[in-house]
Amino acid sequence: MTTVKPMPSVERYEEELNIGQRVGEMFAVAGLLLLASFFILHQTRATGFFTDKFGTPEMFLFYAPLLFSLLDALVQVVTGDRHLARPFQALSGLLMGLAALWFLINFPFEFAHLPDVLPEGLRFLLAWITNDLAKIPLVIQLIVGPITALVALWRFFFSRR
């Protein structure tokens, strides 16, 4: 006699990553590490991108969302489970929104120096970004970050496991 296994719930299926999704998260890890390295180079070389207003609180607000996004992706790569990564998604989104608000009020960047760590032949790729243009993603982060945090928390606490 054959037995029929019940189908996993839709929620459970959405929480488990297949191999392609896990590979995608590996690319996210690589991208986040590259992005963090880019800005750490700015900081260690004192290019002028980070102004005198960029102190310890700004450093925390700048790098913490990157760190929690990195942890989110790493948890998904290692475990293959989105559910376990939800707290990191929530923290990242919350900090991203808070950082965006803070940086819109106290803008500690000079985007004229953004391309300074790139090789001379590649600087044109980022040279067009002005301080005013850079504030547009901050406005988007101010809206999207808290929404992302709420959705991640909702799914963490209310999805069936």
Strand, coil or helix: what is 72? helix
Kindly give, in sequence order, each residue whose CB lies less than 8 Å from that of residue 154, ignoring residues fewer than 6 positions away: none
pTM for the full model?
A: 0.85
Query: For the chain, what is the domain count?
Result: 1
In a domain, 42, yes or no: yes
Does some domain include residue 98?
A: yes
Tell me, yes or no, whether 70 lies in a domain.
yes
- Whether residue 3 lies inside any domain: the answer is no
Per-residue pLDDT, averaged over 132-147, amounts to 98
Which one has a higher pLDDT value, 151 or 160?
A: 151
Which domain does 58 fall in, by range?
18-158
**pLDDT (0 to 100) of residue 46:** 94
Q: Summarize the confidence of residues 39-48 as an average pLDDT.
A: 97
**pLDDT digits 0-9 by tens, 63-113:** 999 999 999 999 999 999 999 999 999 999 999 999 999 999 999 999 999
d(CA 108, CA 59): 10
Q: Kindly indicate the confidence band of residue 1, based on its pLDDT and cuts at 50, 70 and 90.
A: low
Q: Is residue 84 included in any domain, yes or no? A: yes
Residue 6 belongs to some domain of the structure = no
Write down the residue that tokens 């950082």 correspond to. 99
Within-domain flag for 63: yes
**CA 129 to each of CA 100, 124, 150: distance values in angstroms, whole numbers, following the listed order:** 17, 10, 31
In a domain, 13, yes or no: no
